[in-house]
C-alpha cells in the first residue's frame, strides 16, 4: 500500500505533523482478546449501569423516561430507514425525504410555526444554532438569556457566542420564573436574540407571550426552547410571538439510552426560512404529475457551502426524528392532550404529597406540568446527594440535585413525572424520601457530636 500511494514508510505519512505533537511511543492499550472475552468484559461494564428499568426513577432535568411503543422499534429497524445515512442523491431517496417532510409537518403543527427543518443534532445545539441564525439575521452583538434555560443549553450557547464575539447576558429568576423587570432592562437595540425555556429548568411555566412581547421593540429574535410533550396543553410558541422554537426531541419516541442519541427540533417563522440550519424537504409533482419529494433547502457545509453554511454539524438525526414522528402519529392530537393532562394530574399529586413531608418544601409556587422543584432541609448540596444516595439504595431515584447547576439552590431537588410513574410509585417516593431525610438528620447530628 505504501508503494502504491508513493511513500517509503508509515512515518512519512505523518511528516506534516510537528514533532512536538507526536506521541513518540506505542499506544498504551492492552493486547487483543478473543470475542467471547470482549463480550464478557463489556457485559461486566454494562452491569455497572443502572437503567430506568432497574429502579423507579423521577430523574428528569431534560431527559425523561417515557414509554416507547413497539411500533417505533419495528419501523426504525426496517432496512430502508436504518441503513441510509443522508440523501446525497435525493431524487432516489423518496422514502427518506417523505419521512423528513412528514416530520417537518408534525413539528410545524406542534409549534404553531410555519417552517421546520428536518431536525438537528440535539436540544442544546439547536439553541446555539438559533443564536447563529439571529447573528446572521441582524448582526447585533448581545444575547439575553433566561437563567431558566437548561444549563447545558446555556453552556453551549456561551461557547458558540464566544466564537461569534457576542456578549451573553444572563437574566435571573424571580419566584421560579424569569424576572420580567430584569428581562426588560437587559434587552436593548444591540440585542441579537433572547432565549427562554418553556417550561423552564425548575419546571415552572413561563409567561411566554409576555417575555416575547417585551422583546418586540428591539431587533432581537425571540427564541423559545420547548419541551414538546407539554405543547399538547400549553399555548404553542407560534401563538406567543416566538420567532424560533427549538427543543430536545428525546421525549418523542426516543429512549434514555444512557444519554443518547436523540434529536433536536427547529421551527421558525417564514422570515427566517433561509437562515435556518440543516435541511428542509419539500413536496412537489414530477413531470408525470406524481407526488414527489425534494431537498428544498440544504444549507450545511456538507453541501459545499463552506462559510455560507448555517450549520456545521453534519447530522440531521433522521432516524431519531423518524421515531419522533411515529410517536406523534401513534399518540395523535387527542392522545397528546390526554398525555399532558395526565402529567398535570400526577405532577400536582406528587408536588402536594412530597411538600407535605417534614423537611420538604416547594421551591416555588408557579404552575408546573411534568417537573417541579423542592427544597430539602439538609446541609447543602452534599446533604442532597446523601439523601439521593439513600433513596437509590432503596430502589428509587428521587430526582436531580439542583445545586449542581444552581448555586442559589444548594438544597434543591428537581423531581420529574412521566406517564410511567404511577400513584403507587409516587407514594413509594414519598415513603423513601421521608426515611432518607430522617436518616440524614440523624447522620448530621452524629457528625456534629463527633465534631
CATH of residue 391's domain is 3.90.1150.10
Is 153 part of a structural domain of the chain? yes
pLDDT at residue number 286: 86
Is 370 part of a structural domain of the chain? yes
Q: Give the C-alpha separation, 411 to 386, whole Å.
A: 11
Is 135 part of a structural domain of the chain? yes
User: 123 with 156: CB under 8 angstroms?
Assistant: no
Q: Give the C-alpha separation, 113 to 116, whole Å.
A: 8
Do 193 and 275 lie in one domain? The reply is yes
Which residue in the block uniquely carries the three cell numbers 428542509?
A: 280
Is 307 part of a structural domain of the chain? yes
Which of 9-18, 85-94, 145-154, 200-209 is predicted with the least confidence, judged by mean pLDDT? Answer: 85-94
As given in the structure block, the three cell numbers for residue 400 are: 436531580
Q: Give the C-alpha separation, 410 to 380, whole Å.
A: 5
- Residue whose C-alpha is closest to residue 198's, from 225, 174, 229: 225
Reported as a pLDDT band with limits 50, 70 and 90, residue 95 is confident
pLDDT at residue number 22: 87
Torsion of CA 17, 19, 21, 24, to 10 degrees: 110
Determine the average pLDDT of the residues in 237-264: 94
* Listed residues 281, 302, 328: the one ending a domain: 328
pLDDT at residue number 299: 66
Q: What is the mean pLDDT of the chain?
A: 93
Is 252 part of a structural domain of the chain? yes
Do 285 and 205 lie in one domain? The reply is yes
Q: Give the C-alpha separation, 110 to 99, whole Å.
A: 16
For the cut 60, the answer to whether the pLDDT of residue 365 exceeds it is: yes
Q: Which residue has the higher pLDDT, 316 or 399?
A: 399
The count of structural domains within the chain is 3
Determine the average pLDDT of the residues in 165-183: 98
pLDDT at residue number 316: 64
Reported as a pLDDT band with limits 50, 70 and 90, residue 6 is confident
Do 12 and 60 lie in one domain? The reply is no
Do 27 and 133 lie in one domain? The reply is no
Per-residue pLDDT reduced to its tens digit, 291-322: 999 888 876 655 656 667 777 666 668 899 99
Per-residue pLDDT reduced to its tens digit, 31-60: 899 999 999 999 999 999 999 999 999 999
* Listed residues 310, 328, 346: the one ending a domain: 328
Do 204 and 182 lie in one domain? The reply is yes
Do 246 and 115 lie in one domain? The reply is yes
Bridge partner residues of 295 (DSSP)? 281
- Residue whose C-alpha is closest to residue 348's, from 258, 423, 261: 423
pLDDT at residue number 315: 64
Do 158 and 295 lie in one domain? The reply is yes
As given in the structure block, the three cell numbers for residue 37 are: 472475552
Do 297 and 183 lie in one domain? The reply is yes
Do 227 and 362 lie in one domain? The reply is no
Do 312 and 354 lie in one domain? The reply is no
pLDDT at residue number 398: 98
CA-only gyration radius of the chain, Å: 25
Distances (CA, A) of 229 to 124, 216, 252, 382, 410: 17, 27, 8, 32, 28
Do 344 and 308 lie in one domain? The reply is no
Percent with pLDDT over 90 in the chain: 76
Determine the average pLDDT of the residues in 153-167: 95
For the cut 90, the answer to whether the pLDDT of residue 372 exceeds it is: yes
Could you write out the three-class secondary structure of the chain?
CHHHHCCCCHHHHCCCCCHHHCCCCCCCCCCCCCHHHHHHHHHHHHHCCCCCCCCEECCCCCCCCCCCCHHHHHHHCCHHHHCCCCCCCHHHCHHHHHHHHHHHHHHHHHHCCCEECCCECCHHHHHHHHHHHHHHHHCCCEEEEECCCCHHHHHHHHHHHHHHCCEEEEECEECCEECHHHHHHHCCCCEEEEEEEECCCCCECCCHHHHHHHHCCCCCEEEEEECCHHHHCCCCHHHCCCCEEEEECCCCCCCCHHHCCCCEEEEECHHHHHHCCCEEEEEEECCCCCEEEEEEEECEHHHCCHHHCCECCCCCCHHHHHHHHHHHHHHHHHHHHHHHHHHHHHHHHHHHHHHCCCCEEECCCCCECCEEEEEECCCHHHHHHHHHHHHHHCCEECCEEHHHCCCCCCCEEEEECCCCCCHHHHHHHHHHHHHHHHHHHHHHHHHHHHC
Percent with pLDDT over 70 in the chain: 96
Domain that holds residue 6: 2-47
Is 449 part of a structural domain of the chain? no
pLDDT at residue number 33: 93
pLDDT at residue number 242: 98
228: domain CATH number? Answer: 3.40.640.10
* Listed residues 328, 355, 385: the one ending a domain: 328
Is 368 part of a structural domain of the chain? yes
pTM above 0.75, yes or no: yes
For the cut 80, the answer to whether the pLDDT of residue 91 exceeds it is: no
Reported as a pLDDT band with limits 50, 70 and 90, residue 105 is very high
Q: Which residue has the higher pLDDT, 176 or 80?
A: 176
Do 316 and 341 lie in one domain? The reply is no
Is 450 part of a structural domain of the chain? no
Amino acid at each position: 500500500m505504501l508503494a502504491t500511494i508513493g511513500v517509503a514508510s508509515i512515518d512519512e505519512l505523518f511528516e506534516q505533523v510537528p514533532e512536538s505533537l507526536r506521541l513518540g511511543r506505542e499506544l498504551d492499550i492492552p493486547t487483543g482478546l478473543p470475542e467471547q472475552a470482549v463480550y464478557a468484559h463489556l457485559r461486566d461494564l454494562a452491569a455497572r449501569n443502572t437503567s430506568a428499568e432497574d429502579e423507579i426513577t423521577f430523574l428528569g432535568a431534560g431527559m425523561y423516561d417515557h414509554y416507547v411503543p413497539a411500533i417505533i422499534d419495528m419501523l426504525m429497524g426496517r432496512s430502508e430507514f436504518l441503513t441510509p445515512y443522508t440523501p446525497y442523491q435525493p431524487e432516489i431517496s423518496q422514502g427518506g425525504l417523505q419521512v423528513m417532510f412528514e416530520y417537518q409537518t408534525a413539528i410545524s403543527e406542534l409549534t404553531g410555526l410555519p417552517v421546520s427543518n428536518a431536525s438537528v443534532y440535539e436540544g442544546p445545539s439547536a439553541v446555539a444554532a438559533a443564536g447563529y441564525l439571529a447573528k446572521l439575521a441582524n448582526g447585533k452583538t448581545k444575547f439575553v438569556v433566561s437563567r431558566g434555560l437548561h444549563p447545558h443549553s446555556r453552556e453551549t450557547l456561551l461557547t458558540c457566542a464566544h466564537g461569534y464575539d457576542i456578549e451573553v447576558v444572563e437574566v435571573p429568576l424571580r419566584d421560579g420564573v424569569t424576572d420580567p423587570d430584569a428581562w426588560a432592562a437587559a434587552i436593548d437595540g444591540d440585542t441579537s436574540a433572547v432565549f427562554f425555556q418553556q417550561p423552564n429548568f425548575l419546571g415552572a411555566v413561563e409567561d411566554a407571550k409576555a417575555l416575547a412581547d417585551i422583546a418586540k421593540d428591539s431587533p432581537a429574535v425571540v427564541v423559545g426552547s420547548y419541551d414538546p410533550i407539554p405543547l399538547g396543553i400549553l399555548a404553542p410558541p407560534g401563538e406567543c410571538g416566538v420567532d424560533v422554537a427549538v427543543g430536545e426531541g428525546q421525549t418523542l419516541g426516543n429512549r434514555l439510552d444512557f444519554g443518547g442519541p436523540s434529536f433536536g427540533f427547529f421551527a421558525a417563522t417564514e422570515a427566517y426560512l433561509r437562515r435556518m440550519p440543516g435541511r428542509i424537504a419539500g413536496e412537489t409533482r414530477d413531470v408525470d404529475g406524481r407526488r414527489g419529494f425534494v431537498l428544498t433547502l440544504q444549507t450545511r457545509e456538507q453541501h459545499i457551502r463552506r462559510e455560507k453554511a448555517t450549520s456545521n454539524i453534519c447530522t440531521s438525526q433522521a432516524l431519531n426524528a423518524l421515531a419522533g414522528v411515529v410517536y406523534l402519529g401513534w399518540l395523535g392530537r387527542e392522545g397528546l392532550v390526554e398525555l399532558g393532562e395526565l402529567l398535570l394530574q400526577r405532577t400536582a399529586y406528587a408536588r402536594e404529597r412530597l411538600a407535605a413531608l417534614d423537611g420538604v418544601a416547594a421551591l416555588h409556587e408557579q404552575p408546573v406540568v411534568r417537573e417541579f422543584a423542592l427544597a430539602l432541609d439538609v446541609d447543602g448540596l452534599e446533604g442532597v446527594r446523601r439523601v439521593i444516595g439513600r433513596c437509590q439504595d432503596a430502589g428509587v431515584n428521587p430526582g436531580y440535585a439542583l445545586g449542581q447547576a444552581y448555586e442559589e439552590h444548594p438544597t434543591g431537588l428537581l423531581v420529574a413525572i412521566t406517564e410511567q410513574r404511577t400513584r403507587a410509585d409516587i407514594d413509594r417516593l414519598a415513603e423513601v424520601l421521608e426515611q432518607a431525610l430522617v436518616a440524614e438528620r440523624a447522620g448530621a447530628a452524629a457528625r456534629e457530636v463527633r465534631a
